[in-house]
């Protein structure tokens, strides 16, 4: 059985690799491995002139981590620590809105979750240490990732996937102030920061604040791929005979 | 609706922004030229799992990168050959599937060499051994420049004219193009371009038109992808019933 095709948004940054130092479309390979291990086929969607035509061939889409979302998009002035990539925001917001309109299965990770919140009319805390008084969500010394629990709300889609409680890694300095029209369904019990949001009116629209691609816990990817597979087989049935061979 | 153009990706240890690690990436120049030529780029990380991604593509760019494992053309490795095995298998499968689907293909540098190997050809593993100079790669990360003449009546001549000056950064080259036809040569006789005269568009170039911002080969690829996609759309109605269409 052919695998569902999952689009992954990419960073567009000056990158150094091998002997090269060049502007690149770049994404940690851990995201790719998470999708492939979970039975999907990853394709990378570099930011491009805003247009949603690329969604046509996708069965699901993942909004990945990266720079801060431009606070202008939720009507605020930038905090001194806020670092934005407006081209990425512009391209990804277009893709996100079109993906939602098409009920394409969506998983947002870290920045991707924050982008979902902004698209749903919410707002972000621009620098969590100012609000929470601690650096636990992005350690300033020691290991790269922080670590904390997340408690899930029973009855939510995310609870079906992750259960009551999950231990997560953490590498972010912004967080959700207001989830907008998304439903908050997971919190860090230490400081009540929202860690998981979803839109239950969609087949699969979930955002998480941590980085499951950098763990061994791929349940969220499996859930995304599963929703994408169902969509793919549904599309094939409607077409009558599956995707016609090229 | 722009033709969707897949670009194969590098897998390298990389550093960008505050991030570092193994990444899937391509120099953004590839994305930009595809976009400027009227296509929509998606980046294809290597993957041994299957070739279903072909279904979503209208054309394929085989990007540059490390040397191809010489065992793929039956030769022992030269001491200067540097292979990164994770790309070869998945890309060879993609080439085979793209040929089967009659998808337009443009191979760049390593990508051209991959085409030659797929067509049963062989490579020179270190060009300076052959020609006694380093004009094709003056130094690591340094582009050379040299003239190329194209075979009159070939697709390459139609795209590039009868001769042109090109950039150059490679230490391997096509020795025997197999079932492809060589249609471009450097001043020193090194094969610089290959094509399959029996296909709508299967073309390989040894230089880097994306770095030079030379849209011509990409425009020709996108044009071929557009023609093919219109023809395929006639045979493959599932694209039209997809909720994201139009």
Structure tokens at B123: 């490579």
- What's the CA angle centered on A13, arms A83 and A76, to 5 degrees? 20
The pLDDT of B203-209, averaged and rounded, is 98
Q: What distance in Å separates the CA atoms of residue B218 and residue B104, rounded to the nearest whole number?
A: 11
**B2: nearest CA partner in chain A:** A53
CA A148 to chain centre: 19
- A211 included as an active-site residue: yes
Interface test with B, best of A15, A37, A51, A81 (most B CBs within 10 A): A15
Q: What is the per-residue pLDDT for A237?
A: 72
CB B94 within 8 A of CB B107: no
- B171 included as an active-site residue: no
Q: Which residue would you say has higher pLDDT here, B236 or A34?
A: A34
**B101: nearest CA partner in chain A:** A246
Residues of B in contact with A60 (CB under 8 A): none
The pLDDT of B72-80, averaged and rounded, is 95
Interface test with A, best of B1, B5, B17, B41 (most A CBs within 10 A): B17
Backbone φ and ψ for B113, nearest 5 degrees, come out as: -65, -35
Q: Identify which of A226, A242, A240, A238 has the alpha carbon closest to the alpha carbon of residue A4.
A: A226
Residues of A in contact with B245 (CB under 8 A): 56
- A188 included as an active-site residue: no
Residues of A in contact with B140 (CB under 8 A): 19
CB B2 within 8 A of CB B229: no
Q: Which residues of chain A have pLDDT under 70?
A: 1, 236, 238-246
Residues of A in contact with B17 (CB under 8 A): 11, 13-14, 67
CB B123 within 8 A of CB B117: yes
Shortest CA gap B117–chain A (Å): 23
The yes-or-no verdict on residue B181 having pLDDT over 50 is: yes
Which one is catalytic: B78, B163, B210, B211?
Answer: B210
Q: What is the per-residue pLDDT for A1?
A: 65
Q: Is residue B245 very low, low, confident or very high in pLDDT (cuts 50, 70, 90)?
A: very low
Q: What distance in Å separates the CA atoms of residue B41 and residue A4, rounded to the nearest whole number?
A: 19
Q: Identify which of A87, A65, A93, A11 has the alpha carbon closest to the alpha carbon of residue A174.
A: A65
N-to-C CA span, chain B: 8
Q: Is residue B233 very low, low, confident or very high in pLDDT (cuts 50, 70, 90)?
A: low
Question: Buried (b) or exposed (e) across B128-158, using 16+ Cβ within 10 A?
Answer: eeeeeeebbbeeeeebbebebbbbeebbbbe
- Helix (H/G/I), strand (E/B), else coil: B7: strand
pTM across the whole model: 0.93
Cα distances from A48 to residues A86, A210, B183, B225, in angstroms, run: 12, 26, 33, 19
Q: Identify which of A25, A30, A35 has the alpha carbon closest to the alpha carbon of residue A3.
A: A35
Instruction: Kindly give the pairing relationship between strand B10-16 and strand A11-17.
Output: antiparallel
> A11, B19: Cβ pair inside 8 Å?
yes
* Residues 6 or more apart whose Cβ sits within 8 Å of residue B15: A15, A16, A17
> A57, B12: Cβ pair inside 8 Å?
no
Q: What is the DSSP string of A26-90?
A: EEEHHHHHHHHHTT-EEEEE---SS--GGGGG-SEEEE---SBPPGGGGT-PPPTT--B-HHHHH
Torsion of CA A120, A85, B30, B97, to 10 degrees: -30
Q: Identify which of A140, A162, A135, A136 has the alpha carbon closest to the alpha carbon of residue A151.
A: A162
Interface test with A, best of B243, B245, B246 (most A CBs within 10 A): B243
Kindly report, residue by residue over B5-15, the tens digit of the pLDDT.
999 999 999 99
Residues of B in contact with A82 (CB under 8 A): none
Shortest CA gap B99–chain A (Å): 10
* Residues 6 or more apart whose Cβ sits within 8 Å of residue B145: B165, B166, B167, B168
* Residues 6 or more apart whose Cβ sits within 8 Å of residue A234: none
> B28, A18: Cβ pair inside 8 Å?
no
């Amino acid at each position: 059985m052919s695998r569902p095709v999952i689009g992954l948004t990419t960073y567009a940054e000056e990158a150094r690799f091998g002997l090269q130092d060049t502007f690149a479309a770049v994404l940690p390979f851990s995201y790719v491995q998470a999708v492939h291990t979970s039975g999907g086929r990853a394709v990378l969607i570099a930011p491009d002139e805003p247009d949603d035509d690329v969604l046509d061939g996708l069965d699901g889409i993942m909004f990945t981590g990266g720079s801060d979302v431009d606070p202008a998009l939720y009507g605020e002035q930038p905090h001194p620590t806020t670092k934005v990539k407006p081209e990425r925001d512009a391209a990804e917001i277009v893709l996100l809105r079109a993906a939602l309109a098409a009920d394409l299965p969506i998983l947002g990770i870290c920045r991707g979750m924050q982008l979902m919140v902004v698209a749903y009319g919410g707002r972000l805390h621009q620098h969590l240490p100012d609000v929470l008084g601690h650096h636990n969500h992005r350690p300033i010394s020691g290991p790269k990732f922080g670590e904390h629990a997340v408690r899930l709300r029973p009855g939510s889609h995310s609870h079906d996937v992750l259960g009551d409680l999950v231990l997560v890694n953490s590498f972010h300095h912004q967080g959700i102030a207001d989830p907008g029209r998304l439903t908050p369904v997971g919190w860090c019990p230490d400081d009540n920061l929202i860690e998981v949001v979803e839109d239950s009116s969609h087949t699969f629209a979930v955002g998480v604040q941590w980085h499951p691609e950098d763990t061994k816990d791929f349940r969220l990817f499996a859930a995304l791929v599963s929703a994408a597979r169902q969509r793919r087989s549904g599309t094939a049935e409607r077409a009558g005979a599956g995707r016609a061979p090229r | 609706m722009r033709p969707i153009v897949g670009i194969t990706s590098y897998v390298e240890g990389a550093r960008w922004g505050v991030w570092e690690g193994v990444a899937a990436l391509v120099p953004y120049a590839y994305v930009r030229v595809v976009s400027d030529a009227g296509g929509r780029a998606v980046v294809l990380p290597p993957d041994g799992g299957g070739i279903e991604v072909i279904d979503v593509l209208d054309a394929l760019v085989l990007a540059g990168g490390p040397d191809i494992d010489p065992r793929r053309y039956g030769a022992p490795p030269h001491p200067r050959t540097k292979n990164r095995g994770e790309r070869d298998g998945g890309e060879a499968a993609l080439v085979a599937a793209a040929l089967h689907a009659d998808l337009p293909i443009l191979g760049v540098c390593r990508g051209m060499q991959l085409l030659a190997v797929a067509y049963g050809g062989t490579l020179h593993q270190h060009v300076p051994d052959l020609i006694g100079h380093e004009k094709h790669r003056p130094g690591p990360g340094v582009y050379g420049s040299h003239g190329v003449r194209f075979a009159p009546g070939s697709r390459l001549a139609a795209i590039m004219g009868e001769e042109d000056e090109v950039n150059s950064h490679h230490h391997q080259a096509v020795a025997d193009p197999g079932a492809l036809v060589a249609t471009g040569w450097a001043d020193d006789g090194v094969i610089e371009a290959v094509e399959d005269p029996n296909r709508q568009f299967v073309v390989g170039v040894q230089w880097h038109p994306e770095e030079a911002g030379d849209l011509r080969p990409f425009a020709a690829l996108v044009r071929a992808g557009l023609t093919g996609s219109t023809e395929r759309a006639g045979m493959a109605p599932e694209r039209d019933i997809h909720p994201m269409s139009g």
